[in-house]
Structure formats: structure tokens, C-alpha cells
Structure 1
Amino acid sequence: MSTPPPTTIPDELLEEIFLRLPTPDAVARASAACTSFRRVIKARAFRRRFRALHRPPLLGFMDAVGFHPAQAPHPSAPLAGALAPRAADFSFVPAVVSSASYFVPRGVQEDDGEGPRWRPCDVRDGRVLLDWRSLRPGLEVSGVSTLMGSRELVRRKLCVRPKWCNAADFHLAVCDPLSSRYVLLPTIPQDLAAQPQDLLWEFLPVLAPCTGDDSDEEPFKVICIARYRTKLVLFVFPSTTRQWSMVESPISPSLYDMSCFDYVRGSFYWTEPYDLSDHLMVLDTRTLKFSTVGLLTGYHMEIRGLPGQSFDDLRPNAVVMGREGTLEMFSLVCQQGAFALYHTSLQNNSQEWKLEKIIQLPGQYHDYSISTVGAAEGFLFFRGAPDGIPIENVDCYSLEVKAYEITKVCTKRENTYNPRRALPYFSFPPLLSEPTI
């Protein structure tokens, strides 16, 4: 008897099988098995369906120093390790100021000994928003003209003579580090930057979420929140028009610090510790309108009145993606040196915050050694320095919001008394993604 020919599985059935694989790593291994598998997986239709069904993996964190990949035993560690060299390298984005023109005044130390370069200030949808930084943030400087690319550099104590810096002094770029593509944004025109006619206090560039249709070049929007002494102004750059515009908010700048924000359903939420503010500031990225949400109602009043609390500006609340019609928040509370996250929710038709759950955090952290990082993609992020370990060694954690599952992501070196903003970086590997620029 002759041997029957091998059975060929139709591509449509293979696609359904591969869609049910749990992780991008599993898909990558299937792709390497044979050419027919790879053909199905590389098809654009399959990649779109897979990305629609699966959350992109957390690869690690970005900050002013670079990329910190997820480490074993985190499930993304193998993929993060393989992609780390590309995720950490922004050298393909052209410099805007030569090193020869870089001047450091007496008494001012450089950020990290590497001079001026591009550094990440926001991450979203696989894209990284970069600003050009030249001096160490938070230092008083006078008598030097420099390009400043960080909100920390615009402080009342920092004076750049012969004039104060304005919004036209900032250089920005948007890049896709995994595909080495980039867009250099034009600087904000001087006539537009001069219109507020006020002292610039803080300048925070953020990436608005993607609104494209998964085409080869999805549109993006950069929004710069400029906080002046008496007003709040938005400078907006859509990639579709490549033109800056300005919107002045009717809300006066009342936040102490605008650096902590989370994105939920088309809006940014700026949060602060309970002892600094009684509301959340909200920016709808579609309408570019500001609003506020009351903070000190319902169970939040009980949280504020808990005995033995210690307050710290490194512990702002974190807003997360909640159920339909619900705004949800995690508040980091320290009582008698022990830390817990209080999960509360606010229904659309209610003005009272309701307690959902209290989550105790790992017990090896004490006193002022835990701070929140933010929230994204259904995760809350926090970091802490273990007792007995030098403060430069900081553990970074994720909390899966639905299951309350805490996972250690990585350990990185950092001064906990001057923490850098950590940006969670999610991305599919190039096999399953399209270039975002």
C-alpha cells in the first residue's frame, strides 16, 4: 500500500490556532517551526487580529538614563532581553545641538556624564516621545543660554539670561525604537510661544493615544501642557497637519506638580497625594477641554483620616481603566511604616468614592521606601527600596488591576531621594507589529 500524502492544514485553521497562543513568545516559536507557519503569522491580517485580542507585553521601563528591561522570572524577560539593545538606543534620531556647543556653568554637574542627548519623556502605543536635555534638572543657572527640554528645568529658581525660556526653546521628537523610525517635530513658532505673555512655570510634553486605523503610518498627536504663572496653555501638534496650534484653558493652574498623570478612555488624569489637592484635573485629548473631578468624597475622606499615616509627594494616586462608566483609583497609603493600596471607584452617576479592596504590599519595604509610578494597559506600577539594600537598588513592580496580582518587573539603580520618572514600555515584537512611525 502506498503511504498517504501528509495532511495540509488550511491557512485559515492555522490562523485560528495561532490566535489562541497565549504569548508573543509562543507565536515567535511557532513562526520559526516552518515556512508555512511563518507565512501565516507574518500576514498583516493575522497580526492585526492578534494585536486586537492580546495586550502588548510589558518589556520594562524607560527613564532619563535609558531602558530597563524586565528581568527573570518575569514572563516578558526573554523578549525584553532580546529587544533591549534596540529599545534603549535613540542614536538614530539626529542631534539638535552639537556637543561642541554644550556649556556647563561652574558648579553645575552634567546629568550622567554623557552631555546633551535625546531622552524619553513619554511612551504610548509603541512610540517614544523624546526631548532634548542639556543640563541637570532642578539646578539654578544664570548667565548661560541653553536649550532646555524638561519640565523640571522650568522653575522659578531657574533663570536663563538674558531672557526666560519659553515654549519655543524646547526640541521634541517622536520615534519607534524597534523600527528605528522617527519624526523631528518643528519647534513651536516664536510668535505662537509669545502669545501667553506670562512667565512659563512648567512645560510637560505628552503623547496622546493613537486614533488611527492601523495603517502603515498611524497618526499621532503631541500635546504640550504649558503652565504659566496665571494661566494654563496647550500647544498641540497633530502628525496629520504638522502644524502647532495653541489652546488656552479656562482653568487656572492650580496643581502643585503636573508630572504624574494616567490615561483612561481618551483623557489624561493628573493626580496628587491627598494632602496637596482636593480634585483631579482631567484633559480630554479629543476635545482638548479641561475639567475636574472631586477627590475628597465618600471613602476617600476615611482614607485621609486613617491614623498613623505619613504623607509624601512621591505617593500620588493612580487612575486606572475601570469598568464601563466607572473611574477607578489606587491610593498608596503608609501607616506605621507599612504600605497598602486602597482601590476605590466612582460611578458615573455618583459623587461618592466607594472602597473596592485593600491590597497589602510586600512587607520588606519600610517608611518612605515605596512610591507610585503610574498606570497603563490595565496595570498599576510602583517601586520600592528593600530594607538593608543600598538606596540605588530599586525594585519595580506591576499590579495587574483585575486580578490584583503583584509581579516584580526588574531592579534598577536609582537614587530614591531624587527618583526619575519611570515610563512603562509596552510593545509587540517586530514579528507581530507594524512600524508606528
Structure 2
Amino acid sequence: MASISIPIPDELMEEIFLRLPTLRALALASATCTSFRRVIKGRTFRRRFSALHRPPLLGFMDAAGFQPAQAPHPSAPLTGAFGRCAVDFSFVPAVVSSSSCYVSPDEGGPRWRPRDVRDGRVLLDWRSLQAPVLNYWSYPEEGYEVSILMDSREHVDFYDYGLRLAWTRREWCNAADFHLAVCDPLSRRYVLLPTIPEDLAAQPQDRLWEFEPVLAPNTSDDGEEEPFKVICIARYRTKLVLFVFRSTTMQWCVVESPVFPSFDDMSCFDCVRGCFYWTQPWCWSDHLMVLDTRTLRFSTINFLTGYHLQLTDTDPIFDNRRPNALVVGREGAIEMFSLVCQHGTFALHHTSLQNNSDEWELKKIIQLPRQYYDYSVSTVGAAQGFLFFQCAPDGIHLENVDYYSMDVKTYEITKVCTKMDDFLNLKRALPYFSFPPLLSEPTI
């Protein structure tokens, strides 16, 4: 008698596939037959899978391009999902305007540069590199660093040992001069944002000193992808202004904050539960600045309490480092990892601020790899439950720099990659997390 094959219900196949141990096993199952692939590619299964598993780290993005995770990192086999044009963003159209004359990126001309990465999306800005375009310059004035846009054809004189620039004609940097785009590298989809309208950009009536565009995180509770939101934090001489773009309306609005930052640099931050947290990048500060991306309100949290008071007596790292490396939320608490160098070796001090408490408590001290010493380690950001830091031999600036990740729950340290980099060029790492195309939904 011939055997009878009973079809397996899709619901049962989903339960089986959700229990496969690795992404590789899931990919092999998808290639086995069309019915398996249909279930795995189904929207219901992909949502359930992403709710149970966090996406793998594929590598880092910066102005130089994409640096994939390297073997033996477990994500190394997955990085082939990126094509060359996806990682250099050449699929996003060039911007040509009165303030940016297009020259091919192959000729060293303008190009898109990643500024923030979140929820599978990449926020880009347009960078002009050649004349006759307006270049970005900065110079000290009255104790502050002033940024302007200046035509590179203008005459420039250096004096006072190069600490100040003089020129015959100035144009102050304006929020309307920035070009932004949001893209999904895997699906090669993108949205070109309109520039900030001149009437909104003129409202602060003050000199713009700092402009930091960020992607607001997805704060939905049901796993649904939200329309994206871009927040441009514009710091002026006497005020702080938020320019906010929502993809639902495709329009900008402006919000003036009653809180003015006391930090000299607003570019070092971490994102936790829908909020951005800023720490002072050069020394121990007495507070953290917090921006809630849902309410667009700033607040502060006391920093120099409890165990943090003891840390101020240690040898803090000043020379282009971030001693306060990470703010991360876990089970209702705010947690931080502070990078401390003592006796030539590095350690991360894990502290926690419990709800309804003003005292920071020490949870654990984690020793970092001992082959790096003196001032050869710096933290470069955090995302998806990982802290990222870079290490290099002491005394060499441009070299092969090792990048590491640390799971903030297990404290497991993993080497991600090695890349040629300027170690003293302080910047956030822009880690890119994503499932392979088989399991990822377009985010644009």
C-alpha cells in the first residue's frame, strides 16, 4: 500500500522554525522546499521571529564606508547581504542645489555620509568636498567653537598659530543648508528629506554652533514598524532648538527647548527606551542630559552621587576619550558603564540607578583586554544591548584599530573587526544590526 503524506499546517511549521538554533539553519530550511520558504518569508513568521531574537551585528558604518564583521565573529558569514552600492549609498540620488555643486564621489566630490543608524534605517547627510561649494569651517570665539559654511574659493589667512581663521566674506551656517536622507540599505529604498524651510531656520535669530541630526527610535509596543522621525538638535549661542521631521506629514516643525545644555559638545550620546542620554565627553559632569523623543522635552539626572563620587578620585581618561561610556535601561533601572584607566590598565565600572533612588550603585567591574594599556582604549557607543569600544597600540594614531563589543547582560567581550582608522578621531560607532533579507522587512 502506498504511504499517504499528510500536509503539515503552516502554524506547526512556524513553531518548528522558531526553534531552529541558528540563522544558518533557518536559511537551509528555507532552501529545502517552496512550502518551507513560503512560511519563513511570511510576514507573520518574520514578525514573530524578530520579536524573539535580536538582529545580528553585521558591522560598522562611518564616512569611509561599511566595515563588516570579520571571522571568527558569528555574523561574518551574513555580511555578504550587503552589495557595494548599498554600503556606499550610491543608490541614493545625488543632491544638486545652490549650496552644493555635484562632483562624482569617485573624483573625491560630494557624497552621502551616515550620521545615525537605528531600527534598520540609516540617516544620511550630504557632504560637499570640492570647490565651488561651501565647506564646513569652525573657529574659536569668546570661548566657544563657532561653525560656518564658507566658500573654499575665498581667501583664508592663518594667524595666531592657526587658532583662528580670517577671510574677506562670511556666511554663517544655517539649518536650511543641510541635506538629509533616510534609507534602508538592504531593500535599497530611500526618502530624500526636504530641507528645513528658510522661515523655520530663521526663527532662532541666533548663531548656529552645532547641528546634530538623529533618528528617533521605534517606540511602538506591538512590534509594528512606525513611520520614522528625524530630530535635528540645533545648538545656538543662547538657545537649543529641535527641528523635527515626521515621515507621516513629510514636513518640518520647530520646538525651542527651555533647557540650555551646559556641555561643550552634544555629539556623545546613547539611546535607551526612547530617550537620548548625553554625558560630558571630556570629564566627569554632575548631571546627564536626557531628551525624550516622544515628548521632545529635555530633563537632567544627577550623576555625581553614590559610587560615582568615588570614581572622580580615580584617574579619569581625558585625552579624547569618553569616561562615561554607556547608559542602558534594564528592568526599570538606568545603568551605566564608565571607562576607567588605573595603573595603565582599563576596566568598565558598571553602575545602576534604581527607580526612586538618587544614589548610583556599583554592580560589577569588568577588566578589559590587558594587551592594551595607557591611553589606548576608548568607548565609541552602544546599541541593542551591546557596548562598543576600540583599542590600539599606544603611541600610534593612524593604524589598525581593533573594535570590540560587550554584551551588557553577560559581560561577554567579542572582537568584531580590525580596520585602518585614526584612533584619536573621537566618534560614535554606527553599528548596523539586521536580519538577512530573507527575514527582514523593508523599513522605508
- TM, length-normalised to structure 2: 0.88
Structure 1 partner of 2:119:
125
Paired residue for 1:322, among 314, 322, 329?
A: 329
- After superposition, residues 49-60 of structure 1 pair within 5 angstroms as 49-60=48-59
1:252 to 256, 260, 275: 260
Q: What is the aligned counterpart of 2:187 among 169, 172, 179?
A: 179
Change (3 A) 1:68 1:339: same
Over 3 Å counting, the alpha-carbon distance change for 1:366 and 1:177 in structure 2 is same
Please say if residues 397 and 422 of structure 2, whose CA atoms lie closer than 8 Å, have aligned partners that are also in contact.
no
> How far did 1:256 drift?
1.4
Work out the number of aligned pairs and report it. 420
Amino acid at match of 1:291: S
What do the CA deviations read for 1:293-312 (whole angstroms, capped 9, x no partner)?
11111000111112x45433
Pair 1:18–1:386, CA change in 2 (3 A):
farther
Out of 179, 185, 189, the position equivalent to 2:197 is: 189
**Which residue does the alignment assign to 2:160?**
none
Aligned residue number for residue 75 of structure 1: 74
Does structure 1 residue 156 correspond to structure 2 residue 138?
A: no
Residue deviations 1:316-340 (CA, integer Å, cap 9, x gap): 4233433222000000011122110
Equivalent residues in 2 for 1:335-350, closer than 5 Å: 335-350=342-357
**1:385 corresponds to 2:375:** no
Asked if 1 retains the 8 angstrom alpha-carbon contact of 2:56 and 2:434, the reply is: yes
Determine helix, strand or coil for the equivalent of 1:16.
helix
CA contact (8 A) 1:198 1:228 kept: yes
The one-letter code of the counterpart of 1:227 is R
Q: Following the alignment from structure 2 to structure 1, what is the Cα–Cα distance between the partners of residues 327 and 32? A: 39
Deviation digits for residues 114-138 of structure 1 (CA, Å, limit 9, x no counterpart): 22100100000000000011249xx
> Is 1:146 paired with 2:134?
yes
Match of 1:116 in 2: 110
Aligned AA for 1:359?
Answer: I
Residue type of the alignment partner of 2:386: F
Match of 1:203 among 202, 211, 230: 211
Where structure 2 has 5 or more consecutive residues not aligned to the other structure, the ranges are 139-143, 151-168
Change in CA separation of 1:324 and 1:310 when aligned onto 2, cut-off 3 Å: closer
Are 1:47 and 1:433, in contact at CA under 8 Å, matched by a contact in 2? yes
1:52–1:391 distance in 2 versus 1, CA, 3 Å: same
1:357 aligns with 2:356: no
Q: Is the 8 A contact 2:99 2:133 kept in 1?
A: no
The residue matched to 2:73 in structure 1 has which SS?
A: coil
Matched, 1:313 2:320: yes
In 2, distance between residues paired with 1:388 and 1:34? 56
Whole-angstrom CA distance in 1 between matches of 2:323 and 2:316 = 14
Counterpart contact for 1:397–1:410, Cα < 8 Å: yes
Deviations 1:8-37 (A, max 9, x none): 433221110111223333211210111121
**What is the one-letter code of the residue matched to 1:170?**
F
Hey, what does 2:162 align to over in structure 1?
Answer: none
User: Which amino acid letter does the alignment assign opposite residue 13 of structure 1?
Assistant: L
User: Separation in 1 of the partners of 2:23 and 2:286?
Assistant: 42
User: What is the one-letter code of the residue matched to 2:121?
Assistant: R
Q: Does 1:297 align with 2:297?
A: no
Q: Percent identity, aligned pairs only?
A: 73
> How far apart, CA to CA, are the structure 2 residues paired with 1:328 and 1:75?
27
The answer on 1:430 being equivalent to 2:437 is yes
Task: Give the deviation of 1:267 after TM superposition.
Answer: 0.5
Q: Secondary structure at the match of 1:431?
A: coil
**Alignment correspondent of 2:165:** none
Q: Does the CA-based 8 Å contact 2:101-2:133 persist in structure 1? A: no
Deviations 1:355-410 (A, max 9, x none): 00000000111212111111111111111114598742111110001100000111
- Paired with 1:164 and 1:332, the residues of 2 have a C-alpha distance of 37
> Which structure 1 residue ranges, 5 or more long, are not aligned?
105-110, 137-142
Which residue number in structure 2 is paired with residue 139 of structure 1?
A: none
Residue 92 of structure 2 aligns to a residue in which SS? coil
Q: Is the 8 A contact 2:404 2:415 kept in 1?
A: yes
Distance 1:370 1:86 in 2: 32
Q: Which residue of 2 aligns with 1:9?
A: 8
CA distance 1:168–1:254, shift in 2 (3 Å): same
- Aligned mates of 1:289, 1:390 — CA distance in 2: 39
Given the superposition, is the C-alpha separation of residues 174 and 360 from structure 1 closer, same or farther in structure 2, using an over 3 Å criterion? same
Q: Secondary structure at the match of 2:418?
A: strand
The yes-or-no answer on 1:399 pairing with 2:406 is yes
1:346–1:87 distance in 2 versus 1, CA, 3 Å: farther
Whole-angstrom distance in 2 between the partners of 1:410 and 1:289 = 37
How far residue 39 of structure 1 moved from its aligned partner, in angstroms, is 1.2
